[in-house]
Amino acid sequence: MIKSQSKKPLVECASRGCFGYVINMRFKLRNKFKPSGDQPRAIEQLVSGLRRGDKHQTLLGVTGSGKTFTAANVIEKIQRPTLVIAHNKTLAAQLCNEYREFFPHNAVEYFVSYYDYYQPEAYLPRTDTYIEKEAMINEEIDRLRHAATQALLTRQDVIIVASVSCIYNIGSPEAYEKLSMKIERGQIITRTDLLKNLVDMQYSRTQSEIKRGTFRMRGETFEIMPSNQELIYRISMPQQRVEQILIIDPVSRKMREEAAYAWIFPTKHFVSEAPEVQRAVKTIRAELKDRLDYFNKTGKLLEAERLERRTKFDLEMVQQVGFCHGIENYSRHFDGRTPGEPPRTLLDYFSHRRHPERSEGSRDFRHGRDSSPLAQNYKMSDWLLIIDESHVTVPQLQGMYEGDRSRKRTLIEYGFRLPSAIDNRPLKFNEFEERMPQMIYTSATPAQYELKHSGSHVVEQIIRPTGLVDPEIIVCPITPSPVLRTSSPLGRGEGEGKSQVEDVMERIKDRVKKNERVMVTTLTKKMAEDLTDYLNDNVGRGLVPRRGRGQI
């Protein structure tokens, strides 16, 4: 569960135009604790390596040594936007909450797959079974994804905690930013223009309850709930002039405060302006023609009919409403990419993000990319990548591409998708490596990949801030062994000549005398039941064995 950041920063941020005011804000770590143990040395070595230009470093820290706190201190010292990649949603949520506690006044966002349920589109030739894509989108996670990308485009003090879904195609950051609009108090704008731009950004008009990604128009007043925030902008514009912008609580309907301007972004990441849409339609039609010629020449008439019907329906939807089901499969055409060119991912948002000194005055109501020399000279790699639990996360990143490709090839071969659908994919690992900025791998057990690339730049964090050491691990035999009676490798004679159960019983009795508790784990439920019964019958008075129950 992701904790919401406090309302005060949210209101302050929104009242100044959706993060526009705080774009130059610095990372400031809340110093509730001071680095201790091995942390000060680790922080110093990592920061020195980053300033020296080392691309790969590994933080080898034992469990409980405070690797996340060390990374937070590094971020504060180098003052760079940071992407943290974890190997699952749960760990990413935990890390996001920790970083939000460390940086309560900065943008710490969460970016993971937004599906509660996902059945990918597939075709099984052996049984002639087509499986249509089914998905259940988690609206809250979708909101958090938009908050992440919008933070990257509007401010510098950004930490994104993501799963490996960050290497999947999410569309062009240029198009996403280009379609956004900034509405200022005193601005001259017609109701028709505002309405058109909201529709272009895939906002839906409603006359009933207003939800995220919808707007309501009543007379000369617009109410808009943006895609990334839990608030409503109420914009009053009599006589084609923005007179007032209020921030309204969506639940209580009470006014939070009055804003100077509002910055509205599209409700979907896959968006394009009209000229790009028309260009994409032409190239899709050309690809369709080539593919139909191929199927007809090879006698695959069923595949040709199937592909033609589906593609023409999708094109009609795109021309009518600017969107269609499965539009991501045509993303190569909308992005203007060549065949085989890598998709646009969250990593591109880090490279595309705005320069802290970029002038607000260079932006219009319908702005394009800033072509100023300052923006062109901006260092695109000036951000930090942290891979958490790298011994698990790196293999995940390495394996994403092949699994996706095999499924897509079957769909293309049997006429369910155009060949360009193969380019709606995650990054290949070598493509991911090409986009790597300076990196820090964090792990208690780094694998060969991290150690090889880090070379001598491995920073150890062994001593915990608490000073506690790992408990001693004693291995006892399953059955009594005559060898152990005479020469024990345990060094202290622990467990010599005893079976596991006998040894456990003696240790339990020792702990009971000290009024302490004992937890014993077994391989199976049946073993737990048998051990509980045995202890009940044999350990004597003063002990109450209980078995933990797990029903799945």
CA distances from 389 to 15, 19, 60, 70, 468 (A): 38, 31, 10, 14, 22
Both structure tokens of 491: 């060094």
pLDDT tens-place string over residues 491-528: 344 445 567 888 888 888 888 889 888 888 888 888 88
Q: What domains does the chain contain, in order, with CATH numbers?
A: 185-190+203-264 (3.30.2060.10), 482-538 (no CATH)
**Most confident segment among 177-186, 445-454, 528-537:** 445-454
pLDDT at 531 over 90: no
SS3 141: helix
Mean pLDDT over 401-415 rounds to: 88
Query: Where do the DSSP E strands lie in 418-545?
Result: 438-443, 458-461
Largest Cα span, the chain: 98
pLDDT for 493: 45
Choice among 94-108, 171-185, 524-538 with the minimum mean pLDDT:
524-538
Is the predicted pLDDT of residue 412 greater than 90, yes or no?
A: yes
Q: What angle do CA 97, 99, 102 make, to 5 degrees?
A: 115
Phi, psi (deg, nearest 5) at residue 228: -115, -5
* Confidence at residue 208, expressed as pLDDT on a 0 to 100 scale: 86
**Gap between the Cα atoms of 36 and 466, Å rounded:** 8
Most confident region among 8-12, 37-41, 371-375 by mean pLDDT: 37-41
Three-class secondary structure assignment of 148-197: HHHHHHHCCCEEEEECHHHHCCCCCHHHHHHCCEEEECCCECCHHHHHHH
Contact predicate 82/27, CB 8 Å: no
Query: Given this model, what pLDDT does residue 534 score?
Result: 84
Q: Which DSSP letter does residue 466 get? A: T
Model pLDDT for residues 464-495, shown as the tens digit of each residue = 888 777 778 888 777 665 544 444 333 344 44
Single pTM value for the model: 0.80
Q: Mean pLDDT over residues 295-308, rounded?
A: 96
Q: Which pLDDT band holds residue 271 (cuts at 50, 70, 90)?
A: confident
Hey, CA dihedral for 234, 236, 237, 241, is it positive or negative? negative
Rounded CA-CA distance 14/8 in Å is 10
* Rounded distance between C-alpha atoms, residue 478 and residue 502, angstroms: 10
Predicted pLDDT at 404? 79
Q: Which residue has the higher pLDDT, 540 or 182?
A: 182
> How many residues in the chain?
552
CA 69 to chain centre: 20
Give the mean pLDDT of 373-389.
66
Rounded distance between C-alpha atoms, residue 272 and residue 322, angstroms? 8
> Among 498, 427, 408, 411, which Cα is nearest to 167's?
427
pLDDT at 369: 35
pLDDT at residue 479, as a whole number: 66
Distance from C-alpha of 283 to C-alpha of 24, rounded to nearest angstrom: 41
The most confident of the ranges 22-31, 275-284, 368-377, 473-482 is 275-284
> What's the pLDDT band for 222 if we cut at 50, 70, 90?
very high
- No. of H helices and E strands in the chain? 18, 19
The residue-averaged pLDDT of 444-456 equals 95
Using pLDDT thresholds of 50, 70 and 90, give the confidence band for residue 403. confident
| pLDDT of residue 217 exceeding 70 | yes
Q: What is the model's pLDDT at position 27?
A: 95
